[in-house]
């Protein structure tokens, strides 16, 4: 991921320097287990443990010759080990994937914990915003067309629960990637005791893979990327709602617009929804990683490395982009400007048409057949659309022509937008408990 969209904490997780730190840690734990079992000399552990991780530059210089990243790392680290002979027992009985997959499990867990903390914050931000607007009347829309009265808090509550489910889905996916393997070439433990794997797993807080055939099967990593994609797309849904609300014709919601901020290089009046648009764009990047990563599940025989080149790009990009999305979405929601007066004005824009479904049921209750009631209400609604006459007036006139008597007092009662607020009380009670 480019620096523009990479936050420092997540960037460090996926940095080359940190990767080599993790590689050193894994190799040291394996060496300790071997030494404890008497497989290697005990006096080699301390020199290896004290050897600083090699720099990315040092590893690259060797890899340019060897064309093998793990061998280059081991050689560069050996150069930092005093005495150098102690490094001879590093990587004893291991294969490259033992190191790569185990360290990758650590990176995925670290990245996930960063994301989960931000997701917790966003869930709380959405919940609190929704509760603050539990009585902010607005029109509910379907297909972009006014439907029925609603409240803004209802719409945001849907996003809050959706983000909570996405967070919980990611939490479950964390378990699927907190996996390691120290099982040797083709995964048969031919040159390494399974007890070493058990020791390393316990020390790292990971679990040994149920089966490793030299590599850990990529279904767990695919699940993790899919969880990120869903979470990112929920962020996009929030941003899309704000983009719609900020349109000039709607003007119900506004992104935060800072002092000195500029909206357009050509049109000084513009306040564009740039945060929301960036969120929508970045979500595409996260979703785009699903298929390449999933195609790493089928490999030739016990292993090949067609997955590794993909994962070097896809996993850091997915994590960094999701991290940035959560950061932006929390900033968007926490600074969102809600124009309650404009929402109410838009609610009244169609002259009462938003009560057509309620009126339909009331006319049936007044004794008309559903067919007659529907024809009456639809006819009145179409006349209101065409002529701009308030819905109750067109309804009254057409009911008189059809010989249908309306209970005007009853219609007054049911055609109040505030009536819809009370119906949502149980949902808001559930929202209050959301954590």
Print the domain residue range for 185: 98-191+206-346
d(CA 399, CA 405): 7
What does pTM read for this prediction? Answer: 0.92
Residue 257 and residue 391 share a domain: no
Residue 341 and residue 231 share a domain: yes
Residue 45 and residue 143 share a domain: no
Of 346, 365, 397, the one marking the end of a domain is 346
Structure tokens at 254: 């506004």
Residue 314 and residue 235 share a domain: yes
d(CA 196, CA 266): 65
Q: Is 142 exposed, middle or buried (0-12, 13-18, 19+ CB in 10 A)?
A: exposed
Among 143, 265, 269, 301, the active-site one is 143
Among 68, 190, 264, 309, the active-site one is 264
Q: Please count the structural domains in the chain.
A: 3
Predicted confidence at residue 414, as pLDDT, reads 86
Residue 319 and residue 254 share a domain: yes
Q: Is 176 exposed, middle or buried (0-12, 13-18, 19+ CB in 10 A)?
A: middle
Which residue pairs, CB below 8 angstroms and at least 24 apart, start in 360-367? 362/407, 362/410, 362/411, 362/414, 363/399, 363/404, 363/406, 366/404, 366/405, 366/406, 366/407, 366/410
Residue 251: left (phi > 0), alpha (psi -120 to 50), or beta?
Answer: left
d(CA 186, CA 368): 77
The 10 Å CB-count burial string (b at 16+, else e) for 320-357 is: bbbbbbbbbbbbbbeebebbeebbbebbeebbbbbbbe
Of 346, 373, 397, the one marking the end of a domain is 346
Known catalytic residue: 96? no
Residue 111 and residue 175 share a domain: yes
The 3-state DSSP class for residue 336 equals coil
**Residues in contact with 268: Cβ distance below 8 Å, sequence separation at least 6, in sequence order:** 262
Residue 124 and residue 51 share a domain: no
Please indicate, yes or no, if residue 138 is contained in any of the structural domains. Answer: yes
Please indicate, yes or no, if residue 420 is contained in any of the structural domains. Answer: no
**Per-residue DSSP letter, 53:** P
Residue 316 and residue 339 share a domain: yes
Beta-bridge partners for 142: 145
Residue 69 sits in a domain whose CATH number is: 1.10.275.10
Single out the residue of 369, 368, 365, 416 nearest to residue 392, CA to CA: 416
Residue 292 and residue 251 share a domain: yes
Predicted confidence at residue 265, as pLDDT, reads 64
Of 346, 378, 403, the one marking the end of a domain is 346
Beta strands in 112-220 (DSSP E): 137-142, 145-151, 179-180, 207-208
Please indicate, yes or no, if residue 240 is contained in any of the structural domains. Answer: yes
Single out the residue of 398, 418, 396 nearest to residue 407, CA to CA: 396
Averages of pLDDT over runs of 10 residues in the chain (435 residues) are 92 97 98 97 97 97 96 97 96 96 98 98 98 96 93 97 98 98 94 96 97 92 98 98 95 83 66 92 97 95 89 97 98 97 95 91 88 93 94 92 87 86 91 96
Residue 127 and residue 184 share a domain: yes
Beta-sheet pairing, 337-338 with 253-254: antiparallel
- The runs of H, that is alpha helices, within 335-369 are 340-347, 356-365
Residue 229 sits in a domain whose CATH number is: 1.20.200.10
Please indicate, yes or no, if residue 236 is contained in any of the structural domains. Answer: yes
Please indicate, yes or no, if residue 29 is contained in any of the structural domains. Answer: yes
Q: Is 252 exposed, middle or buried (0-12, 13-18, 19+ CB in 10 A)?
A: buried
Please indicate, yes or no, if residue 262 is contained in any of the structural domains. Answer: yes
Known catalytic residue: 264? yes
**Residues in contact with 75: Cβ distance below 8 Å, sequence separation at least 6, in sequence order:** 62, 66
d(CA 115, CA 107): 12
Residue 175 and residue 51 share a domain: no
Residue 149 and residue 33 share a domain: no
């Amino acid at each position: 991921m480019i620096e523009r969209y990479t936050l420092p904490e997540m960037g460090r997780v996926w940095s080359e320097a940190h990767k080599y730190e993790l590689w050193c840690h894994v190799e040291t734990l394996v060496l300790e287990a071997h030494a404890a079992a008497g497989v290697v000399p005990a006096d080699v552990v301390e020199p290896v443990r004290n050897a600083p991780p090699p720099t990315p530059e040092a590893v690259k210089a060797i890899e340019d010759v060897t064309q093998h990243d793990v061998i280059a790392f081991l050689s560069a680290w050996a150069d930092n080990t005093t005495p150098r002979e102690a490094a001879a027992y590093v990587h004893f009985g291991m294969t490259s994937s033992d190191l790569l997959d185990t360290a990758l499990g650590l990176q995925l867990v670290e990245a996930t914990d960063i994301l989960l903390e931000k997701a917790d914050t966003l869930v709380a931000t959405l919940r609190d915003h929704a509760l603050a607007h539990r009585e902010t009347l607005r029109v509910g829309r379907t297909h972009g067309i006014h439907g029925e009265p609603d409240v803004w808090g209802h719409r945001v509550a849907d996003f809050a629960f959706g983000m909570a489910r996405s967070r919980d889905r990611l939490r479950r996916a964390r378990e699927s990637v907190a996996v390691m393997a120290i099982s040797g070439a083709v995964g048969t433990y031919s040159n390494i005791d399974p007890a070493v794997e058990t020791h390393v797993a316990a020390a790292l807080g990971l679990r040994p893979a149920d089966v490793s055939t030299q590599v850990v099967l990529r279904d767990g990593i695919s699940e993790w990327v899919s969880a990120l994609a869903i979470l990112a797309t929920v962020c996009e849904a929030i941003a899309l709602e704000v983009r719609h609300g900020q349109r000039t014709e709607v003007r119900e919601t506004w992104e935060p617009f800072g002092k000195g901020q500029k909206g357009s290089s050509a049109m000084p009046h513009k306040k564009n929804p740039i945060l929301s648009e960036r969120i929508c764009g970045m979500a595409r990047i996260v979703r785009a990683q699903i298929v390449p990563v999933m195609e790493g599940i089928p490999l030739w025989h016990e292993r090949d490395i067609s997955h590794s080149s993909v994962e070097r790009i896809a996993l850091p990009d997915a994590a960094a982009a999701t991290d940035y999305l959560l950061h932006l979405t929390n900033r968007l929601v926490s600074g969102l400007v809600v124009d309650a007066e404009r929402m109410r004005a838009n609610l009244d824009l169609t002259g009462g048409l938003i009560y057509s479904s309620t009126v339909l049921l009331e006319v049936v209750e007044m004794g008309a057949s559903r067919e007659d009631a529907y024809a009456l209400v639809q006819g009145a609604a179409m006349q209101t659309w065409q002529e701009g006459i308030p819905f109750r007036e067109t309804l009254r006139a057409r009911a008189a022509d059809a010989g249908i008597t309306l209970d005007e007092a009853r219609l007054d009662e049911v055609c109040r937008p505030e009536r819809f607020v009370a119906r949502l009380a149980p949902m808001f009670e559930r929202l209050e408990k959301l954590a």
